[in-house]
Copies of this chain bind each other. A is one copy, B any other.
């Protein structure tokens, strides 16, 4: 599967995400008109990602955010209770995006190798589609327990596939936990070092294929 294909199957836009956030937080968001709210939420998220990418969420002031969105300080506080609340909203949503996807993909395919390839690629493609969410979640949430448990969760999926593959004599024996962990690291690389791959002129598809190639070389009997 290539990235283009993936985007057609996985039809979710940034607007959809903002709408989801709006509906999940209608109790705290003071805006009544959905269209207005969704549009502004999108503006807010983009601004947060932009500023946080450069200097981190903590260093971003509400005045920064006000300037970048073009909205006043007062308006912003109609969309979230406080800066900390905003952080929580983004993290929760980022988490939801990742979780939903992984579960979906890991159910498709049966053969271990095909399954492994599909899971690896799906995660990279998803992180490409929502790169700012992934980057932000990684950078700003590092020590939250929730994030660690999510890492464990997604890693377990990979480990299970490797173990199943070994039983079917498709994969070599070895420390599958460790292999799974390193695969995860390689996937993360794509959204953590975007600037590098832009400079190297490497596309998502190239990156994903290269990574799959490395995993195959190491795991296959």
Contacts and interface: CB of A to CB of B under 8 A. Distances in A.
A143 interface: yes
Interface string A10-32: 00000000000000000000000
Given A196-B151, A218-B218, A181 B189 contact: yes
A103 to B, nearest CB: 21
Decide if the interface of chain A is mainly helix, strand, loop or mixed. Answer: helix
A88 interface: no
Interface in A136-195: 139, 142-143, 148, 151, 174-175, 177-179, 181-182, 185-186, 188-189, 192-193, 195
A35 interface: no
A214 B218 contact: yes
B218 A213 contact: yes
Contacts of A202: 175, 177-178
Interface residues on A, range: 35 or more
A108 to B, nearest CB: 26
Pick from A54, A58, A185, A218 the residue with the most CB of B within 10 Å: A185
Interface stretch (A41-49, A113-121, A124-132, A204-212): A204-212
Given A54-B143, A56-B56, A214-B218, A186 B196 contact: no
10 contacts: A58-B58, A174-B210, A177-B200, A178-B206, A181-B196, A182-B186, A185-B185, A185-B192, A214-B217, A214-B218
The 7 A-B residue pairs whose C-beta atoms are closest, nearest first, are A185-B189, A58-B58, A217-B218, A217-B217, A58-B59, A214-B218, A178-B210
